[in-house]
Amino acid sequence: MTIRTPLEHIIVTDLFPDIRLELQRVLESLTDEQWEYPTVCTGWNVRDVALHLLGTRMQLLSGMRDHDGQWFKVDDFQELIELINAQNELWVKAARRISRTLLISLLGFTNQQIIDYLNTLNPLKVGGGIGWTGNNADPLWMHIARELTEQWMHHQHICDAVQITSLKEARFVHPVLSTFVHALPQTYHDTAAPTDKLVKLIITGEGGGTWHLVREAAGWQLYADTDLPPTTTISIDTDTAWRLFTKGLEAETIRQRADVEGDKTLFEVLLKTVAIIA
């Protein structure tokens, strides 16, 4: 019987106040010109990404807290993605009339309400499934951690555009990456391999870590550690990792940055990982 150490719960509620204050600091520091800088989000500048963040704050509070949001019935995951993308574009287009001063104020107001709401939740309770985990149900701590990744990712999009380094400390980066890797079992779902084959992912740099993805009889399972010999060992740095998980890098760029030992076909599967909905 091999050693298989389960993953720890990702409890991140205490990080949201610092993220709220840091976003406010960054936005208040921007020049008129910097607000218009383009970001990696196609068609969106810095102001648009901040408006998108405001929209997601309002959606979370209206839907999860107030149970009074807008709901849609979709037939498959691709339809859901297309619907979310369309809604995001519609929101940003309409919200561009909001002044920057008001935008910063509304972000602070809604983010504080989210902090207050998250503190009322029992993270061990079970909620609905998060699309990219492949599960029908996920614990609330995972939903809260996913919310952290959403805020952190778009914060980085803004900071990248204006060349600011922010929220790159390990206390933020590690839980973000620890959340993203929960997409791996779904990514490898259709990948055939003998039982006990191990894909070992090493993410180097501040906030990195090591994760073990094991093929079991019922499918691929993610662990914090095992004593299995790796079939494939993949090493990438933290910057490459978060951009991989959020569709921020071309596959060839990731291949050039990665150090891969063993079966490279299992590495190619990793390149398909997506830990965001849209």
Domain membership of residue 249 (yes or no) is yes
Same domain, 21 and 90: yes
- Nearest C-alpha neighbor of 97 from the set 109, 84, 106, 87: 106
Over 90: is that where the pLDDT of 151 sits?
Answer: yes
Residue 76 vs residue 37, higher pLDDT: 37
Domain membership of residue 61 (yes or no) is yes
Average pLDDT over residues 61-89: 81
- Cα(30)–Cα(27) distance, integer angstroms: 5
Over 90: is that where the pLDDT of 277 sits?
Answer: no
User: How do residues 128-146 score in pLDDT, each as one tens digit?
Assistant: 999 899 999 999 999 999 9
Over 70: is that where the pLDDT of 74 sits?
Answer: no
pLDDT of residue 215: 97
Average pLDDT over residues 165-190: 98
Over 90: is that where the pLDDT of 78 sits?
Answer: no
pLDDT of residue 81: 76
The pTM for the full model equals 0.95
- Cα(154)–Cα(150) distance, integer angstroms: 6
Over 80: is that where the pLDDT of 262 sits?
Answer: yes
pLDDT of residue 120: 96
Number of structural domains the chain divides into: 2
Residues 119-135 as b/e (b if ≥16 CB within 10 A, e otherwise) read: eebebeeeeeebbbbbb
Domain that residue 68 falls in: 9-167
- Nearest C-alpha neighbor of 179 from the set 59, 278, 273: 273
Q: What is the DSSP pairing of strand 232-237 with strand 225-226?
A: unpaired
Retrieve residue 74's tokens: 């979709």
Retrieve residue 25's tokens: 């600091």
pLDDT of residue 73: 72
Query: For position 231, which CATH number holds?
Result: 3.30.1050.10
